[in-house]
Amino acid sequence: MRVLVPARPEKGKRMWSAQDVARDQVRRQANGLDVAAIAEKVAEAAVRERETAEQLRGNGSFYEFEMDRERSAAIWLAKHAEWQRVRDFMTTAGWGVYEPEQDTQGSVWAREREERRAGAVAAQGAVGARRGEEADELRAEVWLSAASGRRFRVVADRAGLRPSQVLAQLAERIVVGEDGTVSVPPFTPSQ
């Protein structure tokens, strides 16, 4: 009989989208800038958007440390759009300088990002706690002789369990004597 333990779950996805990253960066960088400075940022973002799009198509070279071309291009596309939104918002509102706290749409997005971040941090903490527990776990593959395997199957069937569950219950009850002997007191496997 062979007892296998399932593999660990896959790692999670990114916490923030390209739009989230762009909106956060623009919100911080735009703070206190006037309309002329924002217009310069729009022009700069347009250039970077075009460059990363060309590099994505293979018409340019990325620095060696830039591994994710699609992500970089998506972020610059989103930054360009966000700088334009800030510029248009300031022009419509008649602002002299950008104040992130007064930008209602930007503030809504910032709160949503913070909520997602807090949720992701909490989830990561739970994963870390589980991994800490898993570090003490033992995952094993056990090969039993035909006779032992048959006995395990009979015991498991009577208890309504899988053989691996009976083995786990057996392992939980192991007693190690002072002289190093290993024994298991009699017990009845249960669900």
pLDDT digits (tens, 9 = 90+) for 50-85: 998 888 777 555 554 455 788 888 999 999 999 999
Please report which confidence band the pLDDT of residue 141 belongs to, taking 50, 70 and 90 as the band edges.
confident
Task: Give residue 181's pLDDT.
Answer: 94
- The pLDDT of residue 35 is above 90: yes
The listed range with the strongest mean pLDDT (48-62, 93-107, 130-144) is 93-107
On whether the CB atoms of residues 162 and 153 are closer than 8 A, the answer is: no
Query: Residue 58: which residues within 8 A CB-CB, separation 6 or more?
Result: none
Classify 2 as helix, strand or coil: strand
For residue 152, what are its two tokens? 């395990």
Global pTM value: 0.56
Amino acid 143: pLDDT: 83
Residues 150-178 pLDDT 10s? 888 899 999 999 888 888 898 889 999 99
What's the rounded Cα separation, in Å, for the pair 47 and 49? 5
3-state secondary structure of 43: helix
Contacts of 85 (CB under 8 A, 6+ apart): 105
Taking a C-beta distance cutoff of 8 angstroms, is the pair 185, 175 a contact? yes
Task: Give the pLDDT of residue 67.
Answer: 53
**Rounded-to-integer distance, Cα 5 and Cα 3, Å:** 7
Which pair of structure tokens corresponds to residue 11?
């790692």
Would you state the structure tokens that stand for residue 62, as one six-digit string?
Answer: 């990325």
